[in-house]
Amino acid sequence: MAEKVLMKGNEAFAEAVIRGGVRFYFGYPITPQSEIPEFMSRELPKWGGRFLQAESELGAVNMAYGCGAAGGNAFISSSSPGIALMQEGMSFLCSAEVPLTILNASRGGPGIGSIQPGQADYFQVTRGGGNGDYRIPVFAPASIQEAIDILYYAPALADQWRNPVMVLVDGLMGQMMEPVVLPEPKEPLTSADIPKVKPWAISGSEKGARSVVKSLRLQPEVLEQHVEKLFEKYGRMERELQKVECTDIEDAEVVFVAFGTMARLATEAMELLQAQGIKAGLIRPVTLWPFPYSAFDALTDKTRVVISTELSMGQLIEDVRLGVRGRFPVKLIHRTGGMLPTSLEIVDKTKKILEEVR
């Protein structure tokens, strides 16, 4: 068993993807994740990897596309406005079925917004952002250890599905320190292995048939077939990747739904309410896409209200409503712009909501 070390979020995230087999990083500085390109520029060469500071987020995502198309395990990271620029590339990568691991440290928006933690990019990451019919699995860890575990596994997952995989955190998780256990480093893929392991990759090698990585399909019937094939894959992802953590929901009168940083605050609020004799529970989606809608089926008639707790004007709440399917009232407790509620604030607002619905 490896020993615990105290690590800052952003550095732990970077260390985890390297240990997960990533050897190529392309990045552009943006707060609150700039420690990641800094860490990668220092550490990646020690592992035999390559770091490249891109001229823009557009440059970074397209370098990563080239790297992934050539068979390399690439990683990019950015924050909300930078992710917006990268989404042109994400749509392209999905269509061309090129693997990539992405970290998004989201901040307050719209526009340049603020650099404080935000969750107002829920739609941005779960509903596309780039053009066309495509899907990207989005994981929302609530602790640095959980982020490490997901990021360690993300490069293999991206390879397995030949699709980008995103891990969504926020500035708070990037900046805080927690004791963590780092996993054993995986053997990385070498350039010489690529033609064998990834015969579809453009490796410039004599391997029988040449490879072409593309997303243009001018004939509509051909594009339709391609998108249907992608959606057959996305359907399997929906069944296999969904992840959720449910706490005390069976007899809960009030059920919070929250992810990431907000799930930590909601957990605290749940415990405070429980200490006051109010039965509270929590549904914490670990995957935002695929969203664990079926988790809501476990709620019983004892539930009076489901509360979406989020750092936005109410985006997660739309998936909560789809999960609840009209069985219970759905309410919102939120802050936005980079502001965080305290757990006491959540408790007070919850009590008021309970008075309304009782």
- Of 156-164, 199-207, 223-231, 291-299, the segment contacting another protein by CB under 8 A is 199-207
CB of 82 to another protein, least distance (A): 15
Under the binding rule (CB under 8 A), the answer on residue 89 touching another protein is yes
Under the binding rule (CB under 8 A), the answer on residue 102 touching another protein is no
Which is nearer to another protein, 52 or 272 (by Cβ)?
A: 52
- Of 9-17, 53-61, 139-147, 322-330, the segment contacting another protein by CB under 8 A is 53-61
Under the binding rule (CB under 8 A), the answer on residue 52 touching another protein is yes
What is the rounded distance in angstroms from the CA atom of residue 67 to the CA atom of residue 71? Answer: 6
Under the binding rule (CB under 8 A), the answer on residue 187 touching another protein is no
| Long-range contacts (CB closer than 8 Å, 24 or more residues apart) made by 319-324 | 319/126, 319/285, 319/288, 319/291, 319/293, 320/257, 320/296, 322/291, 322/293, 323/257, 323/291, 323/292, 323/293, 323/294, 323/295, 323/296, 324/296, 324/299
3-state class of 117 per DSSP? strand
Of 33, 93, 89, 104, the C-alpha closest to 58 is: 89
Under the binding rule (CB under 8 A), the answer on residue 72 touching another protein is yes
CB of 66 to another protein, least distance (A): 3
Under the binding rule (CB under 8 A), the answer on residue 291 touching another protein is no
Of 284, 330, 25, 272, the C-alpha closest to 155 is: 25
Under the binding rule (CB under 8 A), the answer on residue 131 touching another protein is no
- 123: tokens are 């739609």
- Of 156-164, 196-204, 245-253, 260-268, the segment contacting another protein by CB under 8 A is 196-204
Which is nearer to another protein, 198 or 284 (by Cβ)?
A: 198
Of 238, 342, 323, the C-alpha closest to 284 is: 323
In single-letter form, the type of residue at position 139 comes to F
Cβ 323 vs Cβ 273: under 8 Å: no
**How many residues bind to another protein according to rule CB under 8 A?**
40
Question: Residue 165 forms beta bridges with which residues?
Answer: 101
Under the binding rule (CB under 8 A), the answer on residue 65 touching another protein is yes
* Rg of the chain taking only CA atoms, in angstroms: 21
Under the binding rule (CB under 8 A), the answer on residue 223 touching another protein is no
DSSP letter for each residue of 340-353:
---HHHHHHHHHHH
Under the binding rule (CB under 8 A), the answer on residue 196 touching another protein is no
Which is nearer to another protein, 203 or 308 (by Cβ)?
A: 203
CB of 93 to another protein, least distance (A): 10
CB of 23 to another protein, least distance (A): 9
Under the binding rule (CB under 8 A), the answer on residue 58 touching another protein is yes
3-state class of 206 per DSSP? coil
Under the binding rule (CB under 8 A), the answer on residue 24 touching another protein is yes
Residues at the site binding another protein, with contacts judged by CB under 8 A: 24, 26, 50, 52, 54-56, 58-60, 62-72, 74, 88-89, 92, 96, 191, 194, 202-206, 210-216
